[in-house]
Structure 1
């Protein structure tokens, strides 16, 4: 995609271009405690390492889990790779500050230190006996001896990833990790053992508002983070948001559409009980403007978006999931706002509230609206682009969710 395209998207999404497995199934006691949805390698909204990949380099990624357990394992994805990708070695540890860690545990893959991830595939590590508490931060460190080529990644992490030259997977002080990025690489999941064989995982599924753009780096203030804090480990909360994602259309910068990634990102997660679906504003907005590098398309209609939501609900119900519909937040004044698009948003939100298709509804539209203008985001909750909430706004979103509905 040309740089002109990215500059247009930076304007639309308020993004600032600064440096930045085999499924466990429903058995075995594994439950998700952290996830990140996979993207194709891409130049992205801000500088990242996905296209260049890694060679004789170590990457350390810090994530905060939602629920705890006596042991842990990771999942690595080569979903968009075209060749086998070799991870020479890996560790997991308790994160302390920056790239520093403690309680380092080696990770193995089928009893081997090295993992080879097939093109389009994923792998899970063996069990690592590292007790994990709810809301604890872990550091996953991967060493790549040979050139990887472009790697599957997650663009908008709102968290710092660290890189070092050479093999530093066992380092504790973090001093060698002198380069940073604001994306995650290959790491698609962290799971813990739960001895209680029941469904008790919630997936937050959506676009950049679920992904947490605007929360601030390393603050863990995304709305799914705030929901996890309310639950305090009683349920796992997985964030499967992707910035610029759409219900109906695939894009390189916004990932596969909600319809095309719902199976992998929600239905394939072990022991999922509930999914919260917050999607649609990008379908509306991006069909209202010309984006260089993307083919023009007619403005999206409410009927098309409603049909997409119905299909997501159908897929979830087939797997026995409880489905919560979230109304689309106000966005008047955002770069891709139009009055025509606003009418579509209103119609879709009315359907979400009144159709009875969803098991429950969380009305983010009304919670987040400006008291003086219901079509606009409350200034107290606005990160500054009239589209994305700030940390206070994300906390208000999490507080609006009735925990009994989960």
Structure 2
């Protein structure tokens, strides 16, 4: 039997984020209910909780898992209590994470699983993942065992809190695929509460676990208070250290190129001007790290982005140089040419309107499906 990651979310510093969230205020006497879709089947599961950006220990009073129903409800008869080292509660030190014991709940591939955490004390600011694009629910008091979801109907955000992984036990040898990058991987532009990120579209097309390690706004070369640590700083934790990973698909660099072109965007700062040489050095660091672990790494070219806040003559030049290097260097095990895949036939520097979200920078559901279909042959 093998343990394999079946779902993941990359942790971030508490921050304002793209939409309202509870990360800076944290929780006090609350129950938090979160819904995720697993990409592998198994007869047992375990959860991973992170206090990576906490400044004091996190006291989790108790937790349950269940098969998800509608909204905050769960399927009756599927609720299971979670233990940590045999205990119902766990204290997670600052900057650490905790892994639960195996929970006897069988799940199918693409099942939706509900994880409910009771936080009886006051947590302080919460380690979280800003862009979950899935409703997360909060209630006063202890409602771990509630099946109806009624206590959770008040406050909702679309971020995940403390929960960074769900692993499953399976008889088949894992071959997990991690999609690693920024908001295009995170799923910005996809339909919320519909599981239409490109990681979701890929999971529906392959038999391998597919893990989403995207962070909106994330950078290849620099840390950000809003958009996570730079790629090299989080690559092992968010990709290579996940159980069962065999392939990483890297789609990153657009923000490093484009943030310095944008105006009046305080969350982008500092935004140093980057050259193709700078980015190539960053890519090579990740390629070496993956190969040292025996993990394949697929490079994805920078997509077309003319007409957006990230575009300018310098950004156009750097992105073209980076993409040429990716195609020609042979340093990646394979290359997914997102630039050509999503280009507007009438103007290849622009995102094809048939695949574009409103901002012209991100794909929509259709664009993410096209990306997923194209990468299948490279895995």
TM-score bracket, normalised by the shorter chain, equals over 0.9
Residue number among 261, 281, 298 corresponding to 1:288 in the alignment: 261
2:65 pairs with 1:89? no
What secondary structure is seen at the aligned counterpart in 2 of 1:311? helix
Q: Do the aligned residues in 1 keep the contact of 2:2 with 2:174 (CA within 8 Å)?
A: no
TM-score by length of 2: 0.97
Residues 338-357 of structure 1 mapped to structure 2, 5 A cutoff: 338-357=312-331
Relative to structure 1, the CA distance from residue 308 to residue 209 in structure 2 (aligned partners, 3 Å threshold; closer, same or farther) is same
Partner residue of 1:389? Answer: 363
Partner residue of 1:182? Answer: 158
1:199: Cα distance to partner?
A: 4.4
What secondary structure is seen at the aligned counterpart in 2 of 1:189? strand
Which segment drifts farther, 165-174 or 293-302? 293-302
Structure 2 runs not aligned, ≥5 long: none
Residues 2-401 of structure 1 mapped to structure 2, 5 A cutoff: 29-102=2-75, 103-177=78-152, 178-196=154-172, 198-231=173-206, 234-290=207-263, 291-292=265-266, 295-401=269-375
Relative to structure 1, the CA distance from residue 182 to residue 297 in structure 2 (aligned partners, 3 Å threshold; closer, same or farther) is closer
Please give the root-mean-square deviation of Cα atoms over the aligned residues, in Å.
1.2
Q: Deviations over 1:53-97 (max 9, x none)?
A: 111110000001111111101000000111100010100001011
The count of aligned residue pairs is 375
Partner residue of 1:402? Answer: 376
What secondary structure is seen at the aligned counterpart in 2 of 1:393? helix
1:295: Cα distance to partner?
A: 5.0
Counterpart CA distance in 2 for 1:201 and 1:98 is: 28
Relative to structure 1, the CA distance from residue 167 to residue 205 in structure 2 (aligned partners, 3 Å threshold; closer, same or farther) is same
What secondary structure is seen at the aligned counterpart in 2 of 1:276? strand
Counterpart CA distance in 1 for 2:376 and 2:142 is: 46
1:386: Cα distance to partner?
A: 0.9
Relative to structure 1, the CA distance from residue 331 to residue 294 in structure 2 (aligned partners, 3 Å threshold; closer, same or farther) is closer
Which segment drifts farther, 287-296 or 125-134? 287-296
Q: Do the aligned residues in 1 keep the contact of 2:205 with 2:376 (CA within 8 Å)?
A: no
Counterpart CA distance in 2 for 1:194 and 1:230 is: 19
1:270: Cα distance to partner?
A: 1.2
1:292: Cα distance to partner?
A: 2.8
Relative to structure 1, the CA distance from residue 323 to residue 51 in structure 2 (aligned partners, 3 Å threshold; closer, same or farther) is same
1:45: Cα distance to partner?
A: 1.7
What secondary structure is seen at the aligned counterpart in 2 of 1:399? helix
What secondary structure is seen at the aligned counterpart in 1 of 2:278? helix
What secondary structure is seen at the aligned counterpart in 1 of 2:299? strand
Q: Deviations over 1:135-172 (max 9, x none)?
A: 11000000000000001000011100011111101100
Structure 1 segments (4+ residues) deviating >3 Å = 293-298
Counterpart CA distance in 2 for 1:392 and 1:211 is: 15
Structure 1 runs not aligned, ≥5 long: 1-27
What secondary structure is seen at the aligned counterpart in 1 of 2:139? strand
